[in-house]
Amino acid sequence: MITAGIDMGSRTVKVVFLEELKVDGAPQLRWGVKGKHIMFPEDLDADQAADKAFEDALQAAGLSREQVKKVVATGAGRKQVKFATADVTEVGAGARGAVFMCPTAKTVVDVGAEEGRGVKANAEGKVVDFAGNEKCAAGAGAFAESMSRALQLSLKEFGEASLRSDKTIPMNAQCTVFAESEVVSLIHSATPKEDIAKAVLDAVASRVCAMVRRVGIEDEVILIGGMVHNPGFVQSLKGALGVEKVHLPDMPEYVSALGAALIAAEGTD
């Protein structure tokens, strides 16, 4: 049996298909990823973006719509997914997917484009408590993206550059716009780009860490969301969290879609 999770994020649409694994021909309560797909919509029509992402994902996985028994949507635009059987918040889906990938981790840190959050989950991947950035992007990927533009670096270069720095430059601004002027001041004072990159990522990590502290930090932490692809951010966050076991999944931006697909699977007969 196959189920799907579709994560309508603020920047990208992610689709994951799950297939029930069978051992010696008997169905087991284990699931494997059948296929995944990411799409960067070119326009703001969420209906079309959901449809197109799903069709492309079916094609990539070699599946037909009829083969997918249930679809659960998540993410900021989850209500726009008309063909979904049900929807779940990104908080619940992220926790479910993260604990599935790393059952020993009970603290989930999810940093996407527009939102960062800390989630405390139980052994079943159910949310016990959560905290997120309320209204500004300072604890999220969009902040890092904006600062990389100010430094005229690609996001990849930005993350890598920060790893070359061993300086700690405090950034006081918690607002993206003011932080950009702080970055510009550092550029004018001939601060090396790698030091500025590290300062920015330290600031994001510190803000994310403060949110996670609100729900409590357990011994093992799993990081999910697109920002996990930024090695500089990961290093800064590891330092801020101060825990030894920080798990980095292979497909961090798909974890919420995976969680939604798992929830879909749990709802099937």
Partner 1 sequence: MSGLFDQFKEWYEKRHDYARAWKSRTGGQVVATMCTYTPEEILIAAGMLPVRVLGAHEPQNVTEPHIFGMFCPFCRDSLAQGLLGRYEYCEGVTLTQSCIQYRQAFNSWRMHVPTVKWDYYLPMPNEVQSRFARAQHYAEVKKFREYMEGVIGKKLPDADLKRGIEIVNENRRLLRELFEYRKETNPRVTGVEALYASITAQFVDKEEHNKELKRVLAELPKRKNDRPEGIRFMTIGSENDDVSFMAMVESVGSTIVIDDQCSGTRYFWNEARVQDDPIATIADRYCERPACPTKDYPAHTRFDHVLKLAKDYNARAAVFLQQKFCDPHEGDYPDLKRHLEANGIPTLFLEFDITNPLGPFRIRIEAFLETLGEEELF
Burial of 135 (0-12, 13-18, 19+ CB in 10 A): exposed
191-230 footprint of partner 1 as x/- string (CB under 8 A): -----------------------x----------------
Under the binding rule (CB under 8 A), the answer on residue 134 touching partner 1 is: yes
Among 17, 31, 130, 254, interactor with partner 1 by CB under 8 A? 130
User: Of 2, 49, 68, 131, which one interacts with partner 1 (CB under 8 A)?
Assistant: 131
Question: Of 7 and 194, which has the nearer Cβ to partner 1?
Answer: 7
Question: Footprint of partner 1 on residues 22-81 (CB under 8 A)?
Answer: 70, 72, 76
Minimum distance from residue 12 beta carbon to partner 1 (Å)? 18
- Per DSSP bridges, beta strands 68-74 and 26-39 are unpaired
DSSP string, 68-136: EEEEEEESTTGGG-TT-SEE--HHHHHHHHHHHH-TT--EEEEE-SS-EEEEEE-TTS-EEEEEE--S-
Query: In degrees rounded to 5, what are phi and psi of residue 254?
Result: -95, -5
Q: How far is the CB of 209 from partner 1 (least distance, A)?
A: 17
Nearest Cα residue to 263 out of 26, 99, 120, 54: 99
Our finding on whether 127 is near partner 1 (CB under 8 A) is yes
CB of 165 to partner 1, least distance (A): 33
Cβ(199)–Cβ(186) under 8 Å? yes
Among 49, 53, 81, 91, binds partner 1 (CB under 8 A): 91
Q: Is 174 in the site for partner 1 (CB under 8 A)?
A: no
Site string for partner 1, 92-121 (x = CB under 8 A): x-----------------------------
Residues that bind partner 1 (CB under 8 A): 70, 72, 76, 85-86, 88-92, 126-132, 134-135, 214, 263, 267
